[in-house]
Structure 1
C-alpha cells in the first residue's frame, strides 16, 4: 500500500490579537488584519473565522494597514487585489497582496531601509487604484514616507519609491494620518502626534519634500490616534478638511482646516458655529493657504482614548466625487467602551449617541476601534487579546448588537490535547488561560465552524502543560503552570449541555454526562487562583430570589451565571460564565510543572517539573480518583520535556533535556498500588530531546531533538530498546511529534513532525515485525507532505496531536491539531488515499 497521495487542508485557526495599539486594520476588502505574535492573521467578520496567517516577520507584529482601508472602499469597488502593510518590533515592514478571486496571498516585498527600532504606526492614502503614499513611524525617532505604485494585475511588480525620512527627536511619534489637501494641486498633509502632546503638520507634494507647517496645541498628554476625514463641503465645494485626535488626557479634539481666499481670509460660507471663531494657526502649502481652528472638544471617556476614526464615506452617484463623508466618529478607550459621536442637527454640538463595551469585571480596556466598510459594524480589540464586534441591526433606529468573532490565545500556546470522544480540543497558554475549541454545527450553512466554546481555567501563572483524563465518564483535565502544584478541573453540567448542543443541536444528555453531576458552573475567586463550584440547587435558589438593588463595584467579584449556550459564545460569556470548578490540587514537585500525560484507561497521571538534579527530575505518578501519589520514577538528571504512555498502557516513555530517553514498565496491582521498573535508558541524541510519540499499533516510538533529527526505536521483548531508523536531517530543531496509526496489519503509520521554524511535515512509516519487534531491514519512511508555509506556524511548533475520524470508503479522513509560539491553535484535515 502506498501513502503518496496525501492532501492537507486548513480546518481552523484560533489566535488572539497582540496587545498593542495600531495592531488591527479593517480593509475595503472587508477583511480584518491583526498581529498574532510574529504572524499576520486575517479574519472574515462574516464567518467569524481566521482565514490564514502570513509568515515572514521575525519579531512581534506591531501594526497593520490595508491599501485601501475601509475609508477608501468607494474607490475599490472594481479592485480584485488588495494590499496589506505590516510592521514589526524589529523595524521591518512587509507588503502583502491578496487576490479576492481565489483568496491566495503572496509576499510582495520587504520595504528597504527598515527602522532601527520597532514600527509603531503605519498610515497611508490612496490617490487611485494603483497610486498610494504611506508613512511609518518608529521608536527610533524617525518617520519614513514612501510612494508605491501598485500593479494592475494579480502577481505584478510593485514599484516602491523612497520619498523622505523626518527626524522627530527623542519624543517619538506614535500616531500618523495622511490626507490630500483640498486645493486640487496634489499636495498632501501629514499629521503626526506622540509623546510631546502636540500635533505636528507637514505638507508636501506626492513626490516632493515634506515641509514642517505648524503645530496644534491643546492636548495635555500623549496623543494616541489621528484621522483625517475626506474633504467635506456643500454641493460641489469641498474646501474643508477635518482632523480628529485622541489623547491619554481622555479627550478627543476635532480640528477644522479651511481653504482661505487669496487675501488670507477663510472662506466661511453658510452657518458659522461658535467654535469656528476659535482660530488656530495658518499654514501655506504651495499656492494655497489654510486656516486651522478647533471645531469641537469631546469629553466622555473615563480613561485613555486609544483610537479615533471617521466613519467611512458612503457611496452616491449624485455627487461628482462619488461619496458623502458622514459626520460620525468612533472612539475606543481603556475605560472598556467604544463611543460613536455625531453633531446635533440644530446646534452642531457633538454628542455621544452610541456607547458599547464590556460591562464585565474581567475587561481591561480597548486598544483600538474600527469601522466596517459600510459603516454598519464596529470592531474593538482589547487588552486580553480579544475582539468585540457590534453590528447595527436596527431598521428605523440604531440597534447595535454583539456578533461572533474569532478568538484565541494572546501568548505562546504551550500544549494541546484532544478529548477522548474527539468532540473538542483543549489548549493551554502562557496567557494564563485554558481554552476549549470545538466544531459548532451551523444549520444556516449546513456545515461546522470551529469556535472557542469555553474557557475553563483563568489562572495567575503561565500554564505549561495539560492532560485530559481519558476513560469513561465526565470530562476532567489536569493542568500544570509556573507553580509547584498540578490542578484538577471537572466539567460542569452547563458545559456538558453546551457541548452536546454544539455537536447535535439537541439537549439530550448521553453517556458522556453523568446524571449525578451536581455542579452547574464555577466562580472566579477574588485572587483568581482557585475556582469555586456553583451547585445546581444553589443556582436554582439564586434565580428564585427577588431582584436586588445592590450594584457591583470594582471591589466585588460578581457571581458567574453558567447557562447552556445555544450558539457560540462571545467574549463576555467566555471570560466569566464558562469556568470549570477546581476539584483537587496535587502537591509534591519542587519546581514549576513542565509536562503531564495520562494513560488511555484514565487511571494514572504522570507529571514532571523543571529540574537540574536527579531527585527533582523524578516523574510522579498519581492515581486518578483518590489522587494519591503512587510512584516516583527516577532516571533523568534534567527536566523531563515530554512523557507518553504506550497504547496498551504497559510502558511509559519519557524524554529529557539530558539527551536521554527512558522506558518504564507500569503494572497496576491494586486500587492505589502501582509497580514500576526502568526497562531502558539511553542517550539517544546529541542535543536536548524535545518530543516523543508511540506507534499506536506496537511498542515502537519516535524521538525528536534539537540536533535536527528524528529517530525511531523499538522495544525488544520488554527488556531492551533497539534503534530502527533515523529520518533524514531536518532544517532546524524538531520540537513536536505525533504518530497516527493507519493500518494495523501492515503497521502503516503517519508521523507528524513539527519544527522550530514553524513548519510541519508528514512522514509515512511502515515496517514488518520479526521476533516481536519491528525489523530494521523491512522498515521504510518517506515524506508524504510538507505543509505550505501559509498553513504552518510562524514560529516554533510546541505540540502536535492527531484526532481520528471516520473512514469513508477508500479515503481516510483525519484531523491534526497543532499549537505554537505564534499564539495559534490550528486544526488540519489530512486526507490519505490508500493505493495498493
Structure 2
C-alpha cells in the first residue's frame, strides 16, 4: 500500500458549551461535539477521528459500541438535523442524515434492542415530542412519535428494564446548578451483569461528586469530590464515567475537558492528561523559529502554546497545550514570533503587547521536550528571567513575578485569620510548577502565563495583522481601517521596540503581511483588493531599517476583484502568492527573468501563471518552503491561517528519514487547530 501523502497528526479542539455533548462509549472511545463536528478520541487522547458534516454547532452526542473498536454515534445540531456515524479511533463515516425541518433536537440517545444488535434512536426536541427510530436494512426509519410534554424535551435516555421509582434519598452537596448526572455503566462479573450503585454528578460550582451507599448503613454519601480551583471558570456542563468506572470525565463551561483516574495503589483520584483547544474561532498561529512548538490566538481571548510530547511507555508522539501565555479581556486577532521565546500579539484594542517566556516555562519545556536548558537558552542567562507571571485583579497586563516575590509570600499561620485585605486578595496567585507531563487546566489558567515586557502604541483602531522578518529584528503591524490615514503599516524595532517607520499606501484594512525569506521585501495585501511591495534600503542596519514602495497594484491594475485575504512567499523569494474572496489564487513575480522579486529595476511584477480557481473564497495561503486530500481532514469553517514548520521533519521526531517529511499547521473558525504531516516523496 502506498504511503499517504498527508495525515493529520493532531487536532486541537474542545467540547461545545452545552450539556449532553460528551459521550463515553462502552468500547472505551470518547465522542464529543466540537463546533460543527464530532471528535472521537481514545481515553489516552492519542488517536482521533473527526466527523464533519453539520452546518451548525453540535448540541448533543450519544454513542454505543458496535464492537470493541467501533462506535455508532448520533449527533444533533442546530442545523435541524441528526446524523448517524460509524467511527473508530482514526476513521469516521456518515451513515445517514435525519432532517427535522425548522425544529431541532435537544438530546439524542442510542441503545440496542434486547437480544439483538439492532440499534434504536430516541430524539427529544423543541417540538415537545420524543421521536423514536429503529434501523431497518441499514437505514433508520421513524417508528413512533411520543407526545405529552408541553415544552422542550431537553434530555432522553433508554432503560433496559422496567422499574418503579421511589424516593430513597436527596443528595445535597453541590452549591450551584447540577447540569449532568451519570450512573456507572453495568459490568460483567462471571455470567451475570451487575449494575454498580455509583452515581456521578457535575455542577456549576466547579465540582464533580461521586456518590454511593455506605456498606454498613446503606446511606448514600459523597465518596469522591474533584473539580477546578482558581481561574476564570464557570463550572461543569456534564460528566461521564468510563466503562470500568476507573476514570471520570467532565467538560467545563469554556469547553475544557477534565479527566481523573483512580490510583488503585493509593486509593486517590488523580488528574490525567487530556487534549485542549480554543472554544471560539482560531484567528492566527505561528511556529517558533526552531519548529518545536506553535502558538495560537483566538476569539476566546486566549493565547495557547502547543508542543509534542511522548508519554512514558508509549512510542507515539502526541501534541498538547503546555502553556497559556496570555488570557486577555479582548478577542485576540494576530501574533508573530520575534525570537525563540518571545512574541507580539494584537487584539481588538489599539495596543500591541510583547511577551517573553519566564524561567519556569523554559525549565518545564526542557523537561517535556527532553532538551537541555543550555541548548534552549544559548548564551542567555536564565537567572535574569522572571520566575513567572500573574494578572492582577481587574488588570489586562501580565505582571512579572520574580523569585524574591515568591519568597515574600509567607504562608498564613491561620487560614481563618485575615489581618488585612492583602491577606485575602493576594498580589500574585502564581505558583512555580515542575512538570514532566502537560499541565492540567487549572495550572494552564493560573501558572503558565508569560510576563508582558512592552506595550506598543501607535494605531488608531483595533489590531488586525502582524508580521516579522526572518532575522526577527523588524515587526510590521496594521489595524482595522476605513480611511487611508489609518491603513498605514507601522514598523517596529524588535531590539528597542521603537517605531521605525509608517508605510502609507492602502485605503482600507491591511489583511495580511509577509516578509520575504531573504528579509529584503515586505508584502502587504488589503481589503481594498490591492497589494503593495516594500523594499528595504541597501545600507540599512537591522535596527534602523527603512522601507520604500517598490511595486503595487491599483484599482485599475488589480487582478483580484474582491478582498485579498492572504499572501505568502516562495522559499527563494522569487515569487509570492495572493488569495482572495473572489476564489482566485495568483502567483506573482518576474515572469521571464527568473530573478527574485525586487532585484530587477524597472521590470513589472506580474502574474506568473494562470489564475488558480479554488471554487470558494480563498481565505488563507501558504507556500511550502521545501517544495516548488481528501476532505475528511479539512476544517468545517473558514481557514484563518496556514503556517509551514520552518524546518524539515516532524516536531518531536529524530533521524535521517525525517527530512522526507514537512509539517503544516492550520487555524480555523471552527475552533480547531490542526497539524498535518506531509511526505514529500509521495507528492
TM-score by length of 1: 0.75
Pick aligned residue for 1:163 from 139, 143, 151: 143
Q: How does 1:78-93 map to 2 (within 5 A)?
A: 81-93=70-82
**Can you list the C-alpha shifts for 1:276-295, whole angstroms capped at 9, x where unaligned?**
xxxxxxxxxxxxxxxx4222
1:297 partner SS = coil
Task: Find the counterpart in structure 2 of residue 418 from structure 1.
Answer: 287
Aligned-residue offset at 1:671: 7.0
2:40 pairs with 1:174: no
Aligned-residue offset at 1:669: 3.5
Pick aligned residue for 1:726 from 575, 590, 610: 610
Task: Find the counterpart in structure 1 of residue 621 from structure 2.
Answer: 737
**Can you list the C-alpha shifts for 1:203-254, whole angstroms capped at 9, x where unaligned?**
xxxxxxxxxxxxxxxxxxxxxxxxxxxxxxxxxxxxxx3xxxxxxxxxxxxx
Task: Find the counterpart in structure 2 of residue 762 from structure 1.
Answer: none
**Can you list the C-alpha shifts for 1:746-787, whole angstroms capped at 9, x where unaligned?**
xxx3xxxxxxxxxxxxxxx4xxxxxxxxxxxxxxxxxxxxx2
Aligned-residue offset at 1:534: 0.5
Counterparts of 1:585 and 1:816 in 2: how far apart (Å)? 31
Q: How does 1:279-678 map to 2 (within 5 A)?
A: 292-318=165-191, 322-395=192-265, 398-470=267-339, 475-504=341-370, 506=372, 508=374, 510-512=376-378, 514-515=380-381, 516-542=383-409, 545-550=410-415, 559-667=429-537, 669=540, 673-678=544-549
Counterparts of 2:53 and 2:505 in 1: how far apart (Å)? 41
Task: Find the counterpart in structure 2 of residue 280 from structure 1.
Answer: none
2:127–2:151: 8 Å Cα contact kept in structure 1?
no
1:375 partner SS = coil
Task: Find the counterpart in structure 2 of residue 22 from structure 1.
Answer: 20
Counterparts of 1:97 and 1:527 in 2: how far apart (Å)? 47
2:367–2:436: 8 Å Cα contact kept in structure 1?
yes
Counterparts of 2:279 and 2:197 in 1: how far apart (Å)? 35
Counterparts of 1:306 and 1:312 in 2: how far apart (Å)? 19
Counterparts of 1:633 and 1:180 in 2: how far apart (Å)? 71
**Can you list the C-alpha shifts for 1:433-459, whole angstroms capped at 9, x where unaligned?**
000000123342234321111000000
Aligned-residue offset at 1:614: 0.7
Aligned-residue offset at 1:539: 2.9
Aligned-residue offset at 1:821: 1.1
Q: Which runs of 5+ in 1 are unaligned?
A: 69-75, 150-156, 183-240, 242-256, 258-291, 743-748, 750-764, 766-786
Task: Find the counterpart in structure 2 of residue 759 from structure 1.
Answer: none
1:57 partner SS = coil
Task: Find the counterpart in structure 1 of residue 7 from structure 2.
Answer: 9
Q: Which runs of 5+ in 2 are unaligned?
A: 590-596, 650-654
1:7–1:832: 8 Å Cα contact kept in structure 2?
yes
Aligned-residue offset at 1:512: 4.4
Q: How does 1:668-747 map to 2 (within 5 A)?
A: 669=540, 673-682=544-553, 683-714=558-589, 715=597, 717-719=600-602, 720-742=604-626
2:124 pairs with 1:124: no
1:499 partner SS = helix
Counterparts of 1:344 and 1:442 in 2: how far apart (Å)? 37
1:454 partner SS = strand
Counterparts of 2:601 and 2:224 in 1: how far apart (Å)? 70
2:505 partner SS = coil
Counterparts of 2:399 and 2:413 in 1: how far apart (Å)? 23
Counterparts of 1:440 and 1:800 in 2: how far apart (Å)? 22
Aligned-residue offset at 1:492: 0.6
1:737 partner SS = coil
1:412–1:429: 8 Å Cα contact kept in structure 2?
yes
Task: Find the counterpart in structure 2 of residue 226 from structure 1.
Answer: none
2:108 partner SS = strand
1:810–1:833: 8 Å Cα contact kept in structure 2?
no
Change over 3 Å in CA distance of 1:538–1:358 after alignment to 2? same
1:731 partner SS = coil
Counterparts of 2:222 and 2:310 in 1: how far apart (Å)? 39
1:308–1:329: 8 Å Cα contact kept in structure 2?
yes
Aligned-residue offset at 1:547: 5.0
2:495–2:543: 8 Å Cα contact kept in structure 1?
no
**Can you list the C-alpha shifts for 1:262-317, whole angstroms capped at 9, x where unaligned?**
xxxxxxxxxxxxxxxxxxxxxxxxxxxxxx42222111100000011111111122
Task: Find the counterpart in structure 2 of residue 799 from structure 1.
Answer: 641
Aligned-residue offset at 1:168: 5.7
2:50–2:91: 8 Å Cα contact kept in structure 1?
no
2:51 pairs with 1:51: no
Change over 3 Å in CA distance of 1:810–1:15 after alignment to 2? closer
Aligned-residue offset at 1:538: 2.8
TM-score by length of 2: 0.91
1:5–1:832: 8 Å Cα contact kept in structure 2?
no
Counterparts of 1:22 and 1:35 in 2: how far apart (Å)? 9
Counterparts of 1:497 and 1:727 in 2: how far apart (Å)? 49
Counterparts of 1:528 and 1:126 in 2: how far apart (Å)? 53
2:88 pairs with 1:108: no
Change over 3 Å in CA distance of 1:791–1:554 after alignment to 2? farther
**Can you list the C-alpha shifts for 1:724-752, whole angstroms capped at 9, x where unaligned?**
0134311211111111232xxxxxx3xxx
2:664 pairs with 1:821: no
Q: How does 1:27-42 map to 2 (within 5 A)?
A: 27-42=25-40
1:58 partner SS = coil
Counterparts of 2:374 and 2:384 in 1: how far apart (Å)? 15
**Can you list the C-alpha shifts for 1:342-373, whole angstroms capped at 9, x where unaligned?**
12234332111110111224332000010001
Larger radius of gyration: 1
1:123–1:135: 8 Å Cα contact kept in structure 2?
yes
Change over 3 Å in CA distance of 1:164–1:423 after alignment to 2? same
Counterparts of 1:525 and 1:718 in 2: how far apart (Å)? 54
1:738 partner SS = coil
Pick aligned residue for 1:142 from 123, 129, 132: 129
Change over 3 Å in CA distance of 1:476–1:513 after alignment to 2? farther
Aligned-residue offset at 1:335: 0.3
Aligned-residue offset at 1:498: 1.6
**Can you list the C-alpha shifts for 1:130-162, whole angstroms capped at 9, x where unaligned?**
22322212334433221224xxxxxxx623120
Task: Find the counterpart in structure 1 of residue 678 from structure 2.
Answer: 830
